[in-house]
Amino acid sequence: MRREHGTPRDGWEKTIESQGLAYHRAAHPSGLSRPYWDESVHYIFSMDEVEALEEQVEELHGMCLRAVEHVVSAGRFADFAIPAWAWEEVARSWERRDPHVYARFDLRYDGTGPAKLLEYNADTPTSLVESSVVQWFWLQDVHPGGDQWNSVHERLIDRWRTLSLPPGPTHFAFTNMDETGEEAMTVAYLQETAEQAGLQTMAIAMEDIGWDALNRRFMDVEGRMIRSAFKLYPWEWMLADEFGRHAVRHATWIEPLWKTLLSNKALLAILWELYPDHPSLLPAYLDGPRELTSYIAKPLLGREGASMRIVTPEETQETPGTYGQEGYVFQGFEALPVFEGQRPVLGAWVVADEAAGLGIRETTGYITDDTSSFVPHRIAD
């Protein structure tokens, strides 16, 4: 694994915008010294590294599924701050094996040993368009004939083909709260992969989904019944909504309700409990840092690096935010590796239950947040 410099393509901004990364300016805070999409650098991996990472990702995913089974069978929903009224519905969703499509592991990796799990974005992962499409076309333009850890697009299409969904169109829901366009473009891309798989689809805003109390069903703005829907909208928000009690019982939602147990950072503590000292895990606890002298306190439902606290013998750092009332997990802290002053985090994609590709974000700080830049990668010739 190494970081290499290159010359950005002429007109790269218009190129990536035409490929779906229309939000690259709006999603990145102004005043930063580098753009969100930065093709002036990229990472190179050996095929051996990629194959080892694929194995580790699929092993981690299997461990996570077994962790869900443990939580459901032991009834440990309170550890995840899930409202008590939804516990039985989460269990039923898992027992039915409600269909799932994709997820993203965030990993610490420096090329010298096993990757370490930082968290699992299993409900509403983004940075998909840049991982699946934009960096692939970068590779074709800049390194024609080169290789990349990236079968995301093909695997998404294959996954939609295998799902057994109710009759009628599958609705693809974004939220009007999205000010940057990132979520809308991510949903539009996933809708396109579903259409390529032969599904009939409809786009809709979450805010436009209606509840027909008389017939007990969800409806779109044109009065069509919503039988199945992909939503880039967190389950914890849905469970807090007045319609949440209906959502858990009506329609097929992707990602499914049982993914509340994978997208919640309490998962990290459950994994450490089930697989202590596993080489791809960092120690993690729900009741405090215990023996850890260096740790990071992560809110169970936190997003974009908000409301975190890093504690080491030398210093304490905190990030602003409003999360944390739901509780924290305390995870052993290992700083991200440094490559030319930048700290990369590997976003390893899982489609269905298989490793599918890689996206890399990097920043100078310890925590990867909305100030980070996405950089492409390739496999060594």
Q: Which of 332, 353, 371 is the last residue of a domain?
A: 332
Tell me the mean pLDDT in the region 184-206: 97
Question: Which DSSP helix (H) or strand (E) runs through 311?
Answer: strand 309-311
227 and 346 in a single domain? The answer is yes
In a domain, 94, yes or no: yes
In a domain, 328, yes or no: yes
Q: In this structure, are 34 and 111 located in the same domain?
A: yes
Dist. CA 315–CA 253, nearest whole Å: 43
Q: Is residue 278 part of a domain?
A: no
What pLDDT score was predicted for residue 30?
A: 72
pLDDT (tens digit, 9 = 90+) per residue, 76-117?
A: 999 999 999 999 999 999 999 999 999 999 999 999 989 999
> What is the rounded distance in angstroms from the CA atom of residue 328 to the CA atom of residue 321?
13
pLDDT value, residue 211: 96
3-state DSSP call for residue 56?
helix
Residue 276 inside a domain? The answer is: no
Domain match, 256 and 174 both: yes
CA 290 vs CA 116, 180, 248, 329, 335: distances in Å: 20, 40, 36, 11, 19
Q: Residue 26 pLDDT > 90, yes or no?
A: no
Of 307-316, 317-326, 331-340, the range with the lowest mean pLDDT is 317-326
Q: Nearest Cα to 190, choosing from 81, 351, 332, 301?
A: 351
Using 50, 70 and 90 to split pLDDT, how confident is the model at 367? confident
Question: Are 360 and 248 part of one and the same domain?
Answer: yes
pLDDT at residue 38, as a whole number: 97
Shared domain check, 321 and 191: no
Instruction: Specify whether 328 is located in the same domain as 341.
Output: no
pLDDT at residue 180 tops 90: no
pLDDT band of residue 42 (cuts 50, 70, 90) is very high
> In the predicted model, what is the mean pLDDT of residues 334-339?
96
Domain shared by 224 and 313, yes or no? no
pLDDT for 138 equals 98
- Rounded Cα distance between 113 and 4, Å, is 21
pLDDT over 90 at 249, yes or no? yes
Tell me if 20 is assigned to some domain: yes
310 found inside a domain: yes
**2-5: strand order across its sheet:** 2-5, 41-45, 377-379
Q: How confident is the model at residue 163 (pLDDT cuts 50, 70, 90)?
A: very high
For residue 100, give the amino acid letter: H
Q: Can you tell me whether residue 234 is helix, strand or coil?
A: coil
Is 269 part of a structural domain of the chain? Answer: no
Q: Mind giving me the DSSP string for 73-134?
A: HHT-GGGGT--GGGHHHHHHHHHHT----EEEEEEE--SSS--EEEEEE-SS---HHIIIII
Res. 31: pLDDT tops 80:
no
Under the banding of pLDDT at 50, 70 and 90, the label for residue 303 is confident
Percent pLDDT > 90 in the chain is 89
Q: Are residues 11 and 144 in the same domain?
A: yes
Full domain range(s) for residue 293: 283-332
pTM: 0.96
Residue 32: its pLDDT value, please? 79
Please check whether residue 64 lies inside any domain of the structure: yes
What's the number of domains the chain is made of? Answer: 2
Q: What is the CA radius of gyration of the chain?
A: 20
Residue 221 banded pLDDT, cuts 50, 70, 90: very high
What pLDDT is attached to residue 204? 96
The confidence band for 264, taking pLDDT boundaries of 50, 70 and 90, is very high
pLDDT digits (tens, 9 = 90+) for 113-134: 899 999 999 999 999 999 999 9
Which pLDDT score, from 0 to 100, does residue 145 have? 94
pLDDT-based confidence at 44, cuts 50/70/90?
very high
Domain shared by 227 and 353, yes or no: yes
Based on the fold, state whether residues 372 and 304 are members of the same structural domain. Answer: no
Residue 218 sits in the same domain as residue 306: no
Q: Is the pLDDT of residue 368 over 90?
A: no
Q: Are 291 and 204 found together in one domain?
A: no
Average model confidence (pLDDT) for the chain? 95
